[in-house]
Structure 1
Amino acid sequence: MSDLTTGEILEVLQRGTVEMEGLLPWSSNYAFLVRVCDGPRELGAVYKPERGERPLWDFAQGTLCLRERAAFLVSEGLGWHVIPPTVLRDAQHGLGSVQLFIDHDPARHYFTIEGDETVRSQLQKIALLDILINNADRKAGHVLIEDAEDPREPARLWGIDHGICFHVDPKLRTVIWEFAGTPLPDDLRRDLAAFKARFADQGDELPRELGRLLSPAELELLGHRLNRLIDRAKFPHPGAGRHYPWPPV
């Protein structure tokens, strides 16, 4: 990741000049690899324009980029920082999400680190975030692995592709079920409780911005899932119906 702070990265992504580099292959919606330049600061990023979103029967057209930004805000509000910095802005193809590009090896993903104790706490955060935002598409390849500069340190994990989250109906589909039925770690439960306090505070910018990105019903169900996680204090087991994404990678 860049040596810039998260705030500085967001500033570059929001106001920098977007230079198109090419279309990313194998994406179900149009996604472009771009460079964002702000004076001497330059970042690689992924631009997903609203105009390039494939129509879905269960998600309103033109909302996927909003959900990408909303998922980032929840990750930041929890203090978990598991989603790369993400903004909403206009670029060559209109309004879209612009997310910091994470340098990674596509051959390494969740299935290559499943059960790895060195990244257990990071995987727990991603799993809990998916439950909270009702992620309908946590493929193994949506967990990126960024090697630490110090080989003695664990790798840094990132979650990407959150365009189909926050639905009002239960749609959790994920490959990360290794924690099902286990208690929530105390520190993560405290993080959830702190987020609940912020979420309920209408003077806080976090719920105000989420309210601009999500529908009232989606916001209400986000609060319901949050309360249920805190009250039950366990990672849930898979529910009825399909609970794995396809393809899984």
Structure 2
Amino acid sequence: MPAPERLPAPGVTTTGELEELLAKGELKVVGRIREASNAVLLCTVTYGDASADCVYKPVKGERPLWDFPDGNLAQREVAAYLVSEAMGWGLVPPTVLRDGPYGEGMVQLWIASTPAGDGPEDAEKSDESGLLALVEGEEAGEGWKPVALADVGEGRTALLVHADDPRLRRLAVLDAVINNGDRKGGHLLPAPDGRLYGIDHGVTFHREDKLRTLLWGWAGEPLTDEAREVLASLSALLADGEPLAARLAELITPVELAAVRARVAHLLRTGVHPQPSGQWPAIPWPPV
């Protein structure tokens, strides 16, 4: 399905206004995004004079997963948005939980993605975002971080790399906090205004370590000063009695909320990006 050409929300300028548009506007289904494993519907939403394109994922269209309770992936998507907003990085498009044409579901602002640039000169293949690439040899090259060797067929391997981009690094920290079990290349959306968004956060917040990502390039490296400050602020916002903690308690289980607090505390205590645990596949499949 071709991407909508209209700007995200003409006449809407604040995050609060976008959330109100998504939560209260009239949803009309335009089509279905068939590449997704769960039901993902492209919609328009209209509220007063404001309108936007959005994605609607009804709970009824969720495919059951063995390690996540049925019917709550939409809630986890909203929880990921709330944590992203609390961190102040705006890495997740505005997302709400509401009723729609096919029942309750997650509604998220559609982001019109644009390529972020070419891969390294020796790249064999670069993804559409320009943030991931496969390169010959064992060196990532300047401006790129190595992830792992990948089988490219016919007995050949190539090095999977991602850009050494501060926006990606912030996203890697967010993923560590929410325990993202499915950070694929197709979930990275560079916007025309230079911002980077991450989408598809249904497989998050598990109490066990489920982190699977293509953004391992900083594994074991010290967190930036900015990240440590953000995590310290987030830790305070997750305390009992805080509005963020209360809202998350409506979306994930008490054990999962406790695990979020523990992950933030661990990141602050160690001061480094997490490394693969070895108890869970470190890279999602398919990676893109």
Separation in 2 of the partners of 1:58 and 1:118?
Answer: 31
Please report how far the alpha carbon of residue 118 of structure 1 lies from its aligned counterpart in structure 2 after TM superposition.
8.9
Please report how far the alpha carbon of residue 206 of structure 1 lies from its aligned counterpart in structure 2 after TM superposition.
0.8
Please report how far the alpha carbon of residue 112 of structure 1 lies from its aligned counterpart in structure 2 after TM superposition.
5.1
Counting only pairs closer than 5 Å after superposition, residues 55-66 of structure 1 correspond to structure 2 as: 55-66=64-75
Q: Does residue 132 in structure 1 map to residue 177 in structure 2?
A: yes
* The one of 14, 33, 58 aligned to 2:23: 14
* The one of 93, 109, 123 aligned to 2:168: 123
Please report how far the alpha carbon of residue 40 of structure 1 lies from its aligned counterpart in structure 2 after TM superposition.
1.3
Moved more, 118-127 or 176-185: 118-127
Q: Does residue 100 in structure 1 map to residue 121 in structure 2?
A: no
Counting only pairs closer than 5 Å after superposition, residues 96-245 of structure 1 correspond to structure 2 as: 96-105=105-114, 107-108=128-129, 110-111=131-132, 115=144, 120-148=165-193, 155-202=194-241, 204-240=242-278, 241-245=280-284
Match of 1:151 in 2: none
Which residue identity lines up with residue 176 of structure 1 in the other structure? L
User: How large is the Cα RMSD of the aligned pairs?
Assistant: 1.9
Separation in 1 of the partners of 2:73 and 2:171?
Answer: 19
SS at match of 1:88: strand
Which residue identity lines up with residue 104 of structure 1 in the other structure? S
Match of 1:246 in 2: 285
Which residue identity lines up with residue 245 of structure 2 in the other structure? P
TM-score (norm 1): 0.92
- Are 2:183 and 2:214, in contact at CA under 8 Å, matched by a contact in 1? yes
Length, aligned pairs only: 242
Separation in 2 of the partners of 1:190 and 1:209?
Answer: 22
- Are 2:132 and 2:163, in contact at CA under 8 Å, matched by a contact in 1? no
SS at match of 1:19: strand
Residues 147 and 39 of structure 1: is their aligned pair in 2 closer, same or farther, counting only changes over 3 Å?
A: same
Please report how far the alpha carbon of residue 181 of structure 1 lies from its aligned counterpart in structure 2 after TM superposition.
1.5
- Are 1:109 and 1:143, in contact at CA under 8 Å, matched by a contact in 2? no
- Are 1:111 and 1:140, in contact at CA under 8 Å, matched by a contact in 2? yes
Deviation >4 Å, runs of 4+: 116-119
The structure carrying a bigger helix percent of its residues is 1
Which residue identity lines up with residue 210 of structure 2 in the other structure? K
Residues 171 and 109 of structure 1: is their aligned pair in 2 closer, same or farther, counting only changes over 3 Å?
A: farther
SS at match of 1:126: helix
Percent identity for Structure 1 against Structure 2: 43
TM-score (norm 2): 0.80
Which residue identity lines up with residue 233 of structure 2 in the other structure? A
Please report how far the alpha carbon of residue 205 of structure 1 lies from its aligned counterpart in structure 2 after TM superposition.
1.4
Q: Which has the higher contact order (CA 8 A, sep 6+)?
A: 1
Please report how far the alpha carbon of residue 108 of structure 1 lies from its aligned counterpart in structure 2 after TM superposition.
2.1
Which residue identity lines up with residue 98 of structure 2 in the other structure? R
1:144-200, Cα deviation, whole Å (9 max, x unpaired): 11122xxxxxx2110000001001111100000111111111111011001111111
Moved more, 235-244 or 158-167: 235-244
Separation in 1 of the partners of 2:24 and 2:214?
Answer: 36
Unaligned runs of 5+ in 1: 149-154
Separation in 2 of the partners of 1:97 and 1:111?
Answer: 28
Unaligned runs of 5+ in 2: 1-7, 116-127, 135-142, 146-161
Residues 119 and 42 of structure 1: is their aligned pair in 2 closer, same or farther, counting only changes over 3 Å?
A: farther
Separation in 2 of the partners of 1:48 and 1:109?
Answer: 27
Which residue identity lines up with residue 129 of structure 1 in the other structure? L
Which residue identity lines up with residue 249 of structure 2 in the other structure? G
- Are 1:109 and 1:144, in contact at CA under 8 Å, matched by a contact in 2? no
